[in-house]
Chains A and B, each alone.
Chain A
Amino acid sequence: MWEEGEDSVILLCLTASSGVPLYCRSRGGSVKQQLPFSVIGSLNGVHMFGSNLDVMLTAACTENTRVVWKVFHNSITLIVLSSDEGTSDFSLGKLLENVFSAMVLVLGLEELVNTRNVERLKKDLKACYKLIDSFLEPSKCSADLTQCVECAVMPSRAILQECLEAFASAAESRFGSLLTGGHVLCATEQWWQLAAQEAMLLMWLVRTLPPHTSRDLPVYLPHGSPTVPHRFLTFQLVPGLEVVLLCGPSPSLQFLADELVKQFWQPLLDLLKASARASPRCLLPSTSLAPGILGVLLINQDQRKSLFTVQPHGTWAEGSEMPLKNRLCALRSFYALVISLYFPSEKSEGTTVPLQEEFQAGFSHHPQHCYVVSATHKAYAVQGRRHQLFLLLKPDVPTFALRSLATSTLQALTTEDSAI
């Protein structure tokens, strides 16, 4: 058997029809853990056995490992095995969706669905490894789970927004966005019309690549344009801050980098430098949250964008409550729990069939609030009209105060001028 690490995650990709393994990746690189062929065969076999009998096997768990299966377009089977403690069927399901979308993004749906030459496909899939591997690593954000783009709120957003709109239209593009440290500072109106997962994936792509002055990457949009590639252009204006565009055949990268970028962005150099230095707090400096709050996840359900931070009070100081890693993990698990069991799942984009019987179908009502109390932290979720708020709190915040604290926080975060 393979070496089972404490938090190992292994991903298998096979052709659905013939069960030929296409690749195997694991957390921390592919070399460390290669599953023996017999294990791969059994994992695929048990799933195929079920489907022959009209039974869909979706998930299984052993003492310390969870396994989730998923077939995409009747042609690609993905299997993930995870012994990471903070994981759930929900998060593994999202992981598989993200991995498949990443494969589409790089290769296009056509090549994955109508495979003529398996050896060729295997070779081409290598181009996706970097992106795929990034989903197996412990996540430092929430976007992979919520599939909502994470935003950062800045006082000077209006100026940047205006400049971005002008720049994008000069570049014959309707889809433009300004990114810093994995967060969207602002984006064109049309950018929010992209499927949430697409916008998330494009940002994720930028984040996984090492810094470059500019890029011109052919991408297939998994929902909007899975068979026709578009050009995804990125320009590093100052270190740590990039403007990205989705373009058609013109204009050329050379022209944009030499002419338009300077023309539109040069006058804002100082503002851009200041924005690139912004704190990982993602909130306006004027926003002050209750001291008991350790982490915030706010989701705008209409526009599918989010605010996420586990440092709501600025930089985290040594010795304060809960290390950042644990905060991240706790808030992510809480989100997964609440979304998979209590809150109506995100506005379905038509593609996902619920894998399990709806738990909330057993209720005669839709829960609006939800909380968890544990030894290390408390957590509270509110379902608003357009927003969902998930809070991670210190354990010494009295439980009876959670509700009013959460509602007032939601109020504060959604009524500001620059609220998401």
Chain B
Amino acid sequence: MLTTTPRGPAGMLVPAGSVVVPDWHKTQEAQRYFGAVLQRKKRKSFGLIERPVLPPLAQADMASYKVFVSGRSGVGKTALVASLGGLQVPSAHHETTGIQTTTVYWPAKLCQSGRALFFKFSFWDCGESMLKKFDHLLPACTEKVDGFLLLFSFTDRASFDDLPNQISRMRERAKNAIRIVIGTKFDQFAHTDVTERDIAAFRHAWGLPVLRAKSLSAPPLADRCSQGSHTGLSNVAHILNGLAEHLWRQDQWAAGLSLPLPGPKEPISAPLTGGSASGS
């Protein structure tokens, strides 16, 4: 007889496009929803006591999630959050001297019900050396957290090798939070230090989704300013949709509404440190 412990949703792979309609932001239907978060083709910023205002006929529910962005110093946590929020990407690297949070509203359409929904992500970003220096910051970041973005840089091998440490650090704190790995600076091919084979091996070993993000600040080109402040939604849609799908699926699972998708088998012996094989 075979008894399987239900796989924690945190390690679940949700295939892209299985929960929300991919590329929905390009459709005509989505325009009135995106109209509420855009202003003159730029992302509108909202204060804490505001929220997007929709036309009367286009009401949508709001699903709020707290997401902690983790990764070694200099991998591009702040830059990634800025680009997800449609903000000016910093031109030079500066250590973040504490926690800073950014709220991003993202409309999406659920495949199953055809219902439009607003996702409200609060991205929590904290300088890695500050985390080490001040003990109170990490608990603050992981308090009631719903998801982790684990970042590594394609141009920094050490940041990739550090992922297992990041994962185990998170596992102790929030067991039910989803985890997504994001490789930054994916477009700097000349400096790539992490190969597709590494990614495949990692994905196999850990069963975590791996997404890719372009670097938006690195090339010192003349048009960087215009590029940084207004990168279209297309550059970040796959990340925000991916995040939305995992968080939504996790909520459904927690509420007992859907069974977890069959994920890949847990490895018997994890090739990377920190991995623990769950017994059956």
B240 interfacial by beta-carbon distance below 8 Å:
no
Partner of B47, one of A29, A106, A239, A254: A239
Q: Is the CB of A236 within 8 A of B66?
A: no
Q: Is the CB of A229 within 8 A of B134?
A: yes
Of all chain A residues, which has the CB nearest B47? A238
A269 interfacial by beta-carbon distance below 8 Å:
yes
Q: Is the CB of B99 within 8 A of A239?
A: no
0 or 1 for each of B76-88: is its CB under 8 Å from A? (1 = yes): 0000001000011
Residues of chain B within 8 A of A130, CB atoms compared: 94
Q: Is the CB of B99 within 8 A of A261?
A: no
| A130 vs B129: C-alpha distance when bound (angstroms) | 16
Interface residues of chain B, those whose CB is within 8 Å of chain A, are 45-50, 66, 82, 87-88, 90, 92, 94-95, 97-103, 122, 127, 129-130, 133-134, 136-137, 140, 143-144
Residues of chain A within 8 A of B143, CB atoms compared: 252, 254
A129 interfacial by beta-carbon distance below 8 Å:
yes
Considering only residues 127-143 of chain A, those with a C-beta below 8 Å from chain B are 127, 129-130
If over half of A's interface residues share one DSSP class (helix, strand or loop), that class is named, otherwise mixed; here it is mixed
* B153 CB → nearest A CB, Å: 18
Q: Is the CB of B49 within 8 A of A218?
A: no
* Interface pairs A-B: 3 shortest CB-CB: A217-B98, A238-B47, A216-B99
* B243 CB → nearest A CB, Å: 17
A257 interfacial by beta-carbon distance below 8 Å:
yes
| A252 vs B49: C-alpha distance when bound (angstroms) | 18
* B197 CB → nearest A CB, Å: 33
Of all chain A residues, which has the CB nearest B88? A210
* B28 CB → nearest A CB, Å: 29
Residues of chain B within 8 A of A411, CB atoms compared: none
Considering only residues 235-266 of chain A, those with a C-beta below 8 Å from chain B are 235-239, 241, 249, 252-254, 257, 261-262, 265-266
| A278 vs B192: C-alpha distance when bound (angstroms) | 48
Ordered by A's residue number, 22 sampled pairs between the chains whose C-beta atoms are within 8 Å are A106-B97, A124-B129, A127-B94, A209-B100, A213-B47, A213-B101, A215-B98, A216-B137, A218-B98, A218-B130, A229-B134, A236-B47, A236-B48, A237-B47, A238-B50, A249-B136, A252-B140, A253-B99, A257-B122, A262-B48, A262-B49, A265-B49
Residues of chain B within 8 A of A215, CB atoms compared: 98-101
* A99 CB → nearest B CB, Å: 16
Of all chain A residues, which has the CB nearest B99? A216
* B90 CB → nearest A CB, Å: 7
Partner of B66, one of A231, A254, A262: A254
Q: Is the CB of A126 within 8 A of B49?
A: no
Q: Is the CB of B47 within 8 A of A241?
A: yes
Q: Is the CB of B95 within 8 A of A127?
A: yes
Considering only residues 325-368 of chain A, those with a C-beta below 8 Å from chain B are none
Partner of B50, one of A211, A235, A269: A269
